[in-house]
Structure 1
Amino acid sequence: MDNSPTPGPARHKPVIGLLGAPGSGKSFVAKVFQEHGAGVIDADRLAREALDEPTVRETLRQWWGDAVIDEHGRVDRRAVGERVFDDPAALRRLEAVVHPRVHAGRAAMRAKYEADPGVRAIVEDCPLLLEQGLDGDCDVLVFVDAPQAVREARVRERRGWSSAELARREKNQASLDIKRERADHIVNNGAERLLAYEQARRVLSQILQPSEPA
């Protein structure tokens, strides 16, 4: 995502950045935080919305032809990914179109959550938080951990990725050791979802405690 500083009024609500590898379950932890009063900024969702914009769709069609448009007339993310994953120039060109839209969406959601008295914290759920320098825009970093076998099973079931595909994508991200080291809190999100739920709930409580009256 775009690493430009987020504009807007000075904030007072804690901003939580989520770290973790594909399949670790960052979205699960984000939902737990949301259930307990946090507002979530889902960068992946904003990117999908950007790709669905007619002007973006037509731009990608001009670049790569109808092969990147699915049977429903929407951008085929997998087909686009195949064209940019190992082509840095193509990736930069795509990011130049998508990132400003995602950044604008993030800024709008940040302002909305800041103004909403019912929102207690703001969560940045961005796949490349460290890689894009967005960690500096967060007050607290939470690393979501899960065993390799669990992550492989999740991405195979939900995204159709093989173990090799998962490994290939992880190579483009900061190492798990770095993410773990940078984190202020860790949530272990293995097979026991109830335990992960309780860990996430306690972590949010610890984050909110300094900024909320007892």
Structure 2
Amino acid sequence: MNRKPPIIGLTGGIGSGKSAVASVFLEHGCIVANADENAKAVLLDSEVRDTLVEWWGEKILNIDGHIDRTVIADIVFEDDAALQKLESLIHPRARQMQEAQFAAAPEGTRGLVIDAPLLIEAGLDSLCEIIVYVEASREIRLNRVQKTRDWTAGELDRREAAQLPLDTKRNKADYVLINEGELDEVHRQVKQLLEDMNNRRRI
């Protein structure tokens, strides 16, 4: 009987390049569920939209009538009660989407990858056979978020302070994967990780 592919969770600091690493796993025969993309899709659901408007008013809508994720982020960033309320609405629906994506994995899939910014904080690590910590220096991570998000060093620090400490995430991981700009090296590490994992499952 064929075993189900292992579930692999990606964690790491902001700007460490988790989604880039997830793309490499995809190239090596894995299925990737992107938690951010699934959450965006959930926000397009009319029932979810109506619930959020009921909670926080039409100020959360953009000019097209869709949910403005930036406004939502500002509401919940320093309000734990609001964050828990939002997560109770979004997470179960996003989890269902993830389960459907994994259930549709074709035969021969080498792994089912969860690409989630808050893998551990959201409890998704409990689903994983393997947790991979994607590591990059603070200098590199800051450079990335300055280019892609126009963040300052202070903004990076502020955002990371709202998450688990990096050491905690790293200590929970089974593998540490270095992602500091050399794509060939990321491919090498992913290939080795999948081979090691496959060999371990044969024992």
Using structure 2 for the length normalisation, give the TM-score. 0.90
- Superposed displacement of residue 73, structure 1: 2.4
Q: Does 1:45 pair with 2:22?
A: no
Checking the alignment, whether the CA contact within 8 Å between 1:22 and 1:151 is kept in structure 2 is yes
Checking the alignment, whether the CA contact within 8 Å between 1:142 and 1:184 is kept in structure 2 is yes
1:22 maps to a residue whose letter is: I
Q: 1:133 aligns with which of 116, 123, 127?
A: 123
2:128 maps to a residue whose letter is: C
Checking the alignment, whether the CA contact within 8 Å between 1:38 and 1:121 is kept in structure 2 is yes
Alignment of 1:79-90 (within 5 A): 79-90=71-82
CA deviation digits over 1:140-181, x for unaligned, max 9?
111100011111121222223222222112112221112222
Q: Does 1:107 pair with 2:99?
A: yes
2:28 paired residue number: 36
Aligned partners of 2:48, 2:150: CA distance in 1, in Å? 26
1:94 paired residue number: 86
Aligned partners of 1:207, 1:187: CA distance in 2, in Å? 14
Q: 1:18 aligns with which of 1, 6, 10?
A: 10
Checking the alignment, whether the CA contact within 8 Å between 1:32 and 1:201 is kept in structure 2 is no
Aligned pair count reads 202
Segments of 5+ residues of structure 2 without an aligned counterpart are none
2:59 paired residue number: 67
CA deviation digits over 1:82-122, x for unaligned, max 9?
00110111112211211121121122222222xx2031211
1:191 paired residue number: 181
Counterpart secondary structure, 1:18: strand
Q: CA RMSD in A?
A: 2.0
The ranges of structure 1 where at least 4 consecutive aligned residues each deviate by more than 4 angstroms after the TM superposition are: none
Larger deviation: 62-71 or 17-26? 62-71
Using structure 1 for the length normalisation, give the TM-score. 0.86
Aligned partners of 1:200, 1:112: CA distance in 2, in Å? 23
Q: 2:48 aligns with which of 56, 71, 85?
A: 56
Checking the alignment, whether the CA contact within 8 Å between 2:110 and 2:194 is kept in structure 1 is no
CA deviation digits over 1:16-51, x for unaligned, max 9?
111101110111111111111101111111111011
